[in-house]
Amino acid sequence: MRVSLDGPYTWRRGDLVEHLDRGLCNLEWQIRFPNSNIKHLPSFRSDHSPLYLHFSPPNHGNDHRRPFRFMVAWLTHPNFSNIVNNNWNPASSWSECIFNFQNVVKFWNFNVFRNIHKRKSRIIRHL
């Protein structure tokens, strides 16, 4: 979960300032809501900043394209496990790993398999 701070501190009382207002989640919640984030809003009548939780921020990169689809045919390719192992970074967040994996596999698929559906249609017509 990403946290966005508008200012350097989330709690003020006089000259004392601290980072107090936070959001916590476990791995199951992060997997269920991978694009969630928290924004700290300006405080008006309190010494705490209100938290605004976005479950799914707008996805600006995939408005008119097809969604990512995993192709079972990839599992038959001898190099697929290497693609996964070389492009999955356990030190990164779950959503970052998925995003990177999708981009690499889309490129790999285009270069290795091309368009399977067109090839399948052409072979069926030929038969």
More confident site: 89 or 48: 89
List alpha helices for the chain, DSSP H: 27-32, 80-87, 94-112, 116-126
pLDDT at 78: 92
88-92 average pLDDT score: 81
Nearest C-alpha neighbor of 10 from the set 54, 38, 50: 50
User: What is the Cα–Cα distance from 9 to 34, expressed in whole angstroms?
Assistant: 25
72-81 average pLDDT score: 89
55-66 average pLDDT score: 59
The answer to whether the pTM exceeds 0.75 is no
Say how many C-beta atoms besides its own lie within 10 A of residue 21's C-beta.
Answer: 19
The backbone torsions φ and ψ at residue 11, rounded to the nearest 5 degrees and listed phi first, read -140, 135
Cβ neighbourhood burial of 49 (10 Å; 0-12, 13-18, 19+): buried
Taking the domains of the chain in order of start, what are their residue ranges? 1-57, 60-127
The backbone torsions φ and ψ at residue 31, rounded to the nearest 5 degrees and listed phi first, read -70, -40
